[in-house]
């Protein structure tokens, strides 16, 4: 996204959540608190998994990576917003905006893929318990995480390379961070290729992982339904209850962002959905896993 006929590097204006000056201290305190809780909660999960030998299993290996992604995802958006509120400045540079778009896509995509991998882990544990150790060996777990990073990084990089070819002299972005769709709407030149790539990315980073999660849980529910013991059913379901809650929260807020933008065309509703998606969900994940999981509570 070049500067059109101007030789200056374009600046974007992030309008934020509200232009009411009286609300700025409240927003600053609220989001600073949420950010600190997110970082602290996910760091505790990472430290608990790393320090307790009982948690050195594939399930908690993926959970520690999910917590790391949650910290990075929130750190991509919230600190810049806090700086803008504190300095009463809405400027974001061209390069800074592209960097934020890239890392937002990377960490959102990683969250998608890691939740899918965790669903597959629960599928193997419940449907094929005797082969769990053989299937989910450390080498395969490491390869799955590396595959997630590789796929998401290159898909995100492709979007950035496509955005560089667009022209724009700088404009306002009605958001609190540089979200890909909003930045594309600010383009002055034809963004048809970018729009097509965006739909392909949504399918690759959203629809396919969600399909994998749904298929895994279909197999899990079918396996649980065939169990004769009620206690066995409860025990099997309890092992994936926290993951199912996180999946519902993540995809529910993500779909809220998509439908609020596609159906209502209301910037305010889109902002609220984005806050849920980028800030609230990463903050709640460690609480869900710690409150629903005896092993994590014991380690903490």
CATH of the domain at 54: 1.20.1070.10
pLDDT at 2: 52
Contact 78, 31 (CB under 8 A): yes
Q: Rounded CA gap, 65 and 82, in Å?
A: 26
Do the domain assignments include residue 68? yes
What range defines the domain where residue 122 resides?
11-299
Using 50, 70 and 90 to split pLDDT, how confident is the model at 6?
very low
Name the band, by pLDDT with cuts 50, 70 and 90, for residue 170: low
User: Does 127 fall in a domain?
Assistant: yes
Q: Is 10 helix (H, G, I), strand (E, B) or coil?
A: coil
Tokens of 244: 């199912």
Q: In the chain, at which residue ranges do the beta strands (DSSP E only) sit?
A: 11-14, 91-93, 172-173
Distance of alpha carbon 214 from alpha carbon 94, whole angstroms: 39
Bridge partners (DSSP) of residue 107 are none
Query: Does residue 4 fall inside a structural domain?
Result: no
- The answer to the question of residue 5 being in a domain is no
pLDDT tens per residue, range 90-101: 888 888 888 999
Q: Is residue 3 part of a domain?
A: no
Q: Is 187 among the domain residues?
A: yes
**Lowest-pLDDT range of 17-21, 36-40, 173-177, 296-300:** 296-300
User: How many structural domains comprise the chain?
Assistant: 1
Residue 26 included in any domain: yes
What are the helix and strand counts (H, E) for the chain? Answer: 13, 3
Is 265 domain-assigned? yes
Cβ proximity of 61 and 49 under 8 Å: yes
- Return the minimum-mean-pLDDT range out of 35-44, 218-227, 263-272: 263-272
* 8 Å CB contact between 205 and 19: no
């Amino acid at each position: 996204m070049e500067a059109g006929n101007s030789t200056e590097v374009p600046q974007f204006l992030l309008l934020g959540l509200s232009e009411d000056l009286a609300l700025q201290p409240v927003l600053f305190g609220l989001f600073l608190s949420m950010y600190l809780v997110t970082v602290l909660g996910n760091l505790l999960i990472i430290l608990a998994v790393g320090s307790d030998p009982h948690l050195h299993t594939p399930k908690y290996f993926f959970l520690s990576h999910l917590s790391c992604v949650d910290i990075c995802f929130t750190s991509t958006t919230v600190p810049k917003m806090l700086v803008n509120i504190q300095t009463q400045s809405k400027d974001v540079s061209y390069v800074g905006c592209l960097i934020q778009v890239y890392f937002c896509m990377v960490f959102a995509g990683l969250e998608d893929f890691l939740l899918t991998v965790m669903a597959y882990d629960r599928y193997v544990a419940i449907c094929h318990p005797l082969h769990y150790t053989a299937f989910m060996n450390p080498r395969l777990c490491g390869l799955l995480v590396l595959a997630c990073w590789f796929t998401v990084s290159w898909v995100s990089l492709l979007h950035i390379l496509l955005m560089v070819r667009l022209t724009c002299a700088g404009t306002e972005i009605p958001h609190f961070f540089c979200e890909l769709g909003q930045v594309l709407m600010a383009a002055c030149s034809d963004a048809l290729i970018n729009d097509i790539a965006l739909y392909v990315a949504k399918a690759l980073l959203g629809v396919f992982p969600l399909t994998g999660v749904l298929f895994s849980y279909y197999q899990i529910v079918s396996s649980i339904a065939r169990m004769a013991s009620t206690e066995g059913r409860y025990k099997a379901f309890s092992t994936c209850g926290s993951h199912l809650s996180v999946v519902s929260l993540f995809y529910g807020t993500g779909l809220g962002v998509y439908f609020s933008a596609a159906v209502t065309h209301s910037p305010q509703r889109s902002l609220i959905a984005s806050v849920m998606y980028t800030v609230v969900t990463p903050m709640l994940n460690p609480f869900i896993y710690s409150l629903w999981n005896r092993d994590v509570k014991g380690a903490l």
